[in-house]
Structure 1
Amino acid sequence: MIDKPLLAGVMVLLTLSLVMSYSLSTYTVVHFNYTDFHFFIRQSMAIFLGFTTMVILSKMDPDTWFSRMGLALFILFFILMIAMQFLPSSLVTAVGGAKRWIRVGPMSIAPVEFFKVGFIFFLAWSFARKLLDKTKMGFWEEVRTFTPYLFVFLVAVVIIAVFQKDLGQVVVLGATLMVLFLFIGSSLKFFFTLLSGVFAAFIGLIFFAPHRMARIKSWWGTVQDSILSVFPFESVQSLRIEVGKEPYQISNSLNAIHNGSYFGEGLGNGQFKLGYLSEVHTDFILAGITEELGLLGLTLVTLTMLFIIFRIFKIASKVKNPMYYLFSIGVGLLISFAFILNSYGISGITPIKGIAVPFLSYGGSHIWASCIAIGMVLMVSKKVPRDSKGRMK
């Protein structure tokens, strides 16, 4: 028996995504002279494909199909991410010089969304085979043991952060990898050493990319007063920078959230979607939801997301197979970090990363990939011991 509460939670968010893709795309539809149902129809197709895939996967036998599916995702989309850099512009969509989407007929596929799921499988599969039986390791033995995984991750960093200019996806993958290291028994010394290296590399990726530096300065200009006021030292005040207008995206996002108040302006009645807040149905969908459905709507979305994450972690805690356990933990972490980064970005707490909200943001690739990940977790959930009423033991 699959975990029906998890399936129900995902269905709730997918349904809301469909509704909001119609409500929040009003200005974009008029501006580009699209039909009223342009985004609604496209999102419907993505959700139908994702939901169908999720149900099909949930019915498969994990002992037969889980590893095959996971390896196929990892190998195929790893190759595609490399190959797409050499494909002609007729097949690849480039934005700002970064090739992120492959055109397949009327569809565009972002390989990185599927690679994330494959990468989590690769880690779970390899960790379960090679590391779970190891006794306590010394620091240098840990370095030797984990270096191959770090090498694979660094290759992914070069492809995603350098060629695709998508640092947000790297942050989500890196955070997930480091937490999984802790789950398989790495020492705190190794963890903090690795964290220091990741932080240094993160700073380097920012300094060597002018668009990222501009984004960081723009964000710092909005939060410097509240942060520097805590440190009344003259030397610290030298970190203050001169800024012009507050970044319009963050400003309008915060205004949309404020405008929604407790109960919202009503579905379809949001004002900031009318040209003030671009991409409101994609990366800023939480701001759009809050303006139209209020704090109450945002709270229900957050609780539903937390419920989904809770069910995934509960399945992980009950399943016996270590590979299934680590994969489920990884999927839960991917969803958690993506939701946190997007939430913090639209509220100005951290710089905007361009991370989609799982199951909510408009976009076929991330919807389909998220449904594949949940489908594999549902496949795994059939291995969880249950009582006569179908509840987990």
Structure 2
Amino acid sequence: MADKRLFIYVTLLLSIGVLMSYSLSAYAIVFYHYSQFHFLIRELITGIIGIVIMWALSYLDLNRQFFIVGFIILVVSTLLIFILPFLPDSIASSAGGAKRWIRFPGFSLNPIEPFKVGYIFFISWSLSRKFDYNNKYNLLDQIMILIPHIFVFAVMAFMIAIFQNDLGQVVLLGASFIIILIFAGGSFQLFGLIMIGFGAIGTLFIVTSAHRILRLKTWWANIQDLALAIVPNSFIKDLQVNNLPEPYQIHNAANAIYNGGFFGVGLGNGTFKLGFLSDVHTDMILAGISEELGFIGLVVCVALIFFIVYRILRISYRQKNRFYYLFCLGISLLISISFIINAFGIVGITPVKGIAVPFLSYGGSNLLSNCIAIGLVLALSKKVKLK
């Protein structure tokens, strides 16, 4: 039997996301002249479909159907990412100066979201076959094993970071890849070498993009005073930057969190969602939840995220098949790292990256892709005994 607790935790978090998509979308409804229940209906329908998908995938035959489903997700999403830049504007929607969505009748799809699940499937399957715990690989052997994987990652990173202008997703996939590599049997020397390489490539992507430099400056403007207060005086002159852009988004997010206090101002009574905080029902939903539901509401959401990741890790730990073990680990990383990147961006610890909060942020592509991932984990949970 599939893990009922994991299914319940995801359904509860998803339900909160549907509710908040209605409460926090007030300004977008007025601005775009939508009907009052536009976002609620769309997210509710998507949520119901997601729950059905989780339930259906939990019945997969692991001996054959699991691999077929994972392979289809990988191939289809990869092809869509490659053809997306060449589609006409009537079919492909743009955001941030790049085409990111493919329009279908009644809905739009961001192919990066299902690709993340497919990529975790691919590297889990491949690394489980390439690395053997019983063999001791030297650094050169490990590098030779990883060359095809690094090539695949480099190609996809180029497509996502350049053509779709979305470095945040590359960071998410890169972090997941590195951690899975370590648990697959890679050495810490290889880990350090890859970190240096990824750091160099990431720096190159940032310095060659005006909007990424601006985002970095906005982040530094928010933490500059705090950072300069704790460094030696001799370094202040070199680190201080003048004429920085105002970090309105981060400031408004912090004010929304402060305004919510312990118990919140009440569902639907938030003020920072009324044009002060953009994308509040999507990328900034944690700030919106903090204002309306307070610290208590935020803790409930964080706890549900924790319980979801914890249940997935329990399923992963009990898998005897290394492929299944690494896949479950990878899905837990996608969920937890996405949450951390989003939360750190909102409070100003890191630059805002536009990564959605799993099961909470408004958006069908992210929600359905995460439900597919959980459905596959539920199918694998049937192979282990859980309390």
TM-score range, shorter chain: over 0.9
User: What residue identity is the alignment partner of 2:363?
Assistant: G
* Structure 2, gaps ≥5 residues long: none
Q: 1:28 matched to which residue of 2?
A: 28
| Distance of aligned partners of 1:244 and 1:124 in 2 relative to their CA distance in 1, 3 Å threshold | closer
Aligned partners of 2:320 and 2:135: how far apart in 1?
20
Q: 2:172 matched to which residue of 1?
A: 172
User: What residue identity is the alignment partner of 2:23?
Assistant: S
User: What residue identity is the alignment partner of 1:262?
Assistant: F
Are the equivalent residues in 2 in contact too, given 1:10–1:308 (CA < 8 A)?
Answer: yes
SS in 2 for 1:103: strand
Q: 1:12 matched to which residue of 2?
A: 12
After TM superposition, the structure 1 = structure 2 runs for residues 324-339 of structure 1, keeping only pairs within 5 Å, are: 324-339=324-339
Q: 1:50 matched to which residue of 2?
A: 50
After TM superposition, the structure 1 = structure 2 runs for residues 189-338 of structure 1, keeping only pairs within 5 Å, are: 189-243=189-243, 246-338=246-338
After TM superposition, the structure 1 = structure 2 runs for residues 124-163 of structure 1, keeping only pairs within 5 Å, are: 124-132=124-132, 135-163=135-163
- Per-residue CA deviations over 1:342-379 (Å, capped at 9, x if unaligned) read 00011111100000000000000000000000000000
Are the equivalent residues in 2 in contact too, given 1:113–1:365 (CA < 8 A)?
Answer: yes
Aligned partners of 2:32 and 2:165: how far apart in 1?
26
User: What residue identity is the alignment partner of 1:103?
Assistant: R
After TM superposition, the structure 1 = structure 2 runs for residues 350-389 of structure 1, keeping only pairs within 5 Å, are: 350-384=350-384, 386=385
* Structure 1, gaps ≥5 residues long: none
Are the equivalent residues in 2 in contact too, given 1:342–1:355 (CA < 8 A)?
Answer: yes
Taking structure 1 as the reference length, the TM-score comes to 0.96
- Per-residue CA deviations over 1:33-73 (Å, capped at 9, x if unaligned) read 11100000110121122111111101122222111011111
Aligned partners of 2:242 and 2:46: how far apart in 1?
44
| Distance of aligned partners of 1:106 and 1:314 in 2 relative to their CA distance in 1, 3 Å threshold | same
Aligned partners of 1:294 and 1:277: how far apart in 2?
17
- Per-residue CA deviations over 1:80-121 (Å, capped at 9, x if unaligned) read 100111111111112243111000112110000000000000
Are the equivalent residues in 2 in contact too, given 1:228–1:237 (CA < 8 A)?
Answer: no
Aligned partners of 2:157 and 2:25: how far apart in 1?
32
Are the equivalent residues in 2 in contact too, given 1:218–1:243 (CA < 8 A)?
Answer: no
SS in 2 for 1:101: strand
Aligned partners of 1:238 and 1:221: how far apart in 2?
15
Query: Identity over aligned residues, as a percent?
Result: 47
- Per-residue CA deviations over 1:106-156 (Å, capped at 9, x if unaligned) read 211000000000000001111222223561111111111111111111111
Aligned partners of 2:359 and 2:243: how far apart in 1?
36
Are the equivalent residues in 2 in contact too, given 1:282–1:361 (CA < 8 A)?
Answer: yes
Are the equivalent residues in 2 in contact too, given 1:286–1:298 (CA < 8 A)?
Answer: yes
Aligned partners of 2:18 and 2:11: how far apart in 1?
11
Query: How far apart are residue 246 of structure 1 and its match?
Result: 2.9
Once superposed, what is the RMSD of the aligned Cα atoms? Answer: 1.1
Aligned partners of 1:74 and 1:26: how far apart in 2?
36
User: What residue identity is the alignment partner of 1:381?
Assistant: S
Q: What is the aligned length?
A: 387
Are the equivalent residues in 2 in contact too, given 1:221–1:243 (CA < 8 A)?
Answer: no
Taking structure 2 as the reference length, the TM-score comes to 0.98
- Per-residue CA deviations over 1:184-234 (Å, capped at 9, x if unaligned) read 111111111110111111111000000000110111011112112222142
